[in-house]
Amino acid sequence: MEAKQIIRNLIRESISNLLENAPLADKIYFNTGKLSPRVKEIIERITGKDNYMKIVTDIYWNYLQQSIKNGKWALSVLDGSDYEEDDKEETSENDVLHIDTLREIKGLYEELKNYNKNVFPIEGFDLLHIEDVGNIIWALKQRKKILEEFKKLPSVAGRNMKADIRQERSGYEMNRYRDRLEYFLGHFSLLGNRNDELKQKIINKMFKTNITLEQLLDFVEEKRNLLGGAEFTKEKIREIAETEDVEIVYEQGNIMIVEVSSPNGIKAVGCNSLWCFTYGNDRIYDNWSTYSTNYRVYVIIDFAQPTDDSEFMYVLIRQLTDDNNRFIKYSEEDVDNGKTPLFNMSNENYYDPYSVLSQKLGVNYKKIIRKYLNFGY
């Protein structure tokens, strides 16, 4: 379809809505006397008699009904009478709402004008035929907060959360999403304390293609230390070892070596890591088989380092000795081919793991490697 024809169709649709909106508002509310001429003037001033006059009148009527019910309840409290709420609609001689309520309705009108059906659409939204006005009001309010909070996320979120963004939600679901988003942002804001390089790596790991808010929440729950949350201690490792596939095989001073034999174990211990087999992939067990050796990896933790430092924790995924117990040499070419065995918390790998391990384990590092980092061979 040519661009000119598309524009013509949009204009026709807009004119059609405009011609249908005002008469519907008149037919339902003003010609019947449900709302006064003064209210009509107010709504016309808010909307300029545009496409949204019918739905704004629906919203006004909803607020009026709630105001009448609140008034009855207040009177029942004063005179001690029983109050039973019902769904009966009522009119009022004074149907002009308080100025604060009118401002609120105008704010909803602004939300309607800026509404984009591809960005957090509201379930059951139809300008001319609203079945549950209260739900639409609630959804619009929550949607506004969601859009404001969403701006705090990096731009990659908008690109890679399209399926989540385009999902229709009711008022209740919008409210829940807003609550969950605020919870996530509370954790995400902790990234402000990280250096730019590490921060970007974490963001890239988090906001994968087709990621959802629920998956992001799983990420922050599993990796609070990575974001700067809870303190990670030796006691915490011991607690994990009691319930997961985790065994502390070496502990001396500030150094602890943990043997992990399942992806669930690495997810528990590796809450500081960005290792590809710990999070965010439906093929996690396949990844575990690919990246572990003999279904094991070793985590080397240096408690002398801050828990958010890249040198706080390392993961060893490949053997350092061959079948003859000789040390294997790795090269820079192995780094390019992804064959190096050692990674730090920033997901950086080393072609010379021995320089790192000798620094961490001391002069006896070779004995420790042969005895404790042998992958069960």
Of 105, 26, 25, 23, the closest CA to residue 64 belongs to: 105
Structure tokens at 368: 């420790």
Q: Would 183 be classed as within a structural domain?
A: no
The b-or-e profile of 202-211 (16+ CB within 10 A means b, else e) is bbebbbbeeb
Query: CA 231 to CA 295: how far, in whole Å?
Result: 28
Residue 83 is predicted with a pLDDT of 58
Q: Are 261 and 296 in contact (CB under 8 A)?
A: yes
Looking at the DSSP bridge assignments, the partners of residue 327 are 321
Tell me if 291 sits within 8 A of 317, measured CB to CB. Answer: yes
* Pair 316, 341: CB distance under 8 Å: yes
Structural domain range at position 83: 3-114
Residue 239 belongs to some domain of the structure: yes
Check if the beta carbon of residue 267 is closer than 8 Å to that of residue 232: no
The answer to whether residues 225 and 272 touch, using CB atoms and an 8 Å cutoff, is yes
Contact 249, 257 (CB under 8 A): yes
Which residue type is seen at 57?
A: T
Domain count, the chain: 2
**Which burial class, exposed, middle or buried, applies to 283 when counting CB atoms under 10 A from its CB (0-12, 13-18, 19+)?**
exposed
Kindly state the helix (H) or strand (E) to which residue 315 belongs, with its residue range.
Answer: strand 313-316
Question: Beta partners for 98?
Answer: none
8-state DSSP, 208: -
The answer as to whether 194 is a domain residue is no
- Segments of the chain scoring below 50 in pLDDT: 11, 15, 18-19, 229, 271-274, 279-280
Does some domain include residue 321?
yes
Using CA atoms, how far residue 270 sits from 45, 224, 256, 344, 345, in Å, is 59, 10, 14, 11, 9
Token readout for 37 is 């001429």
Evaluate whether residue 289 is within a structural domain.
yes
* Pair 237, 366 in one domain: yes
Above pLDDT 90, what percent of the chain? 46
- Domain end marker among 114, 136, 167: 114
CA angle 206–212–217, rounded 5-degree value:
65
What integer pLDDT is reported at residue 203 of this predicted model?
Answer: 85
59 falls within a domain: yes
3-state secondary structure of 207: coil
Helix (H) or strand (E) holding 3: helix 3-25
Residue 134 in any domain: the answer is no
Show the tokens assigned to 171. 């008022």
* Closest listed residue to residue 308, CA positions, set 184, 195, 203: 195
The encoded tokens of residue 210 equal 């087709």
| Residue where one domain finishes, among candidates 65, 94, 114 | 114
Instruction: Give bridge partners of residue 246 from the DSSP assignment.
Output: 260
Q: Which residues have a Cβ under 8 Å from the Cβ of 74 and sit 6 or more positions away? A: none
Asked, for residue 272, whether it belongs to a domain, the answer is yes
Q: Last residue of some domain: 114, 147, 170?
A: 114
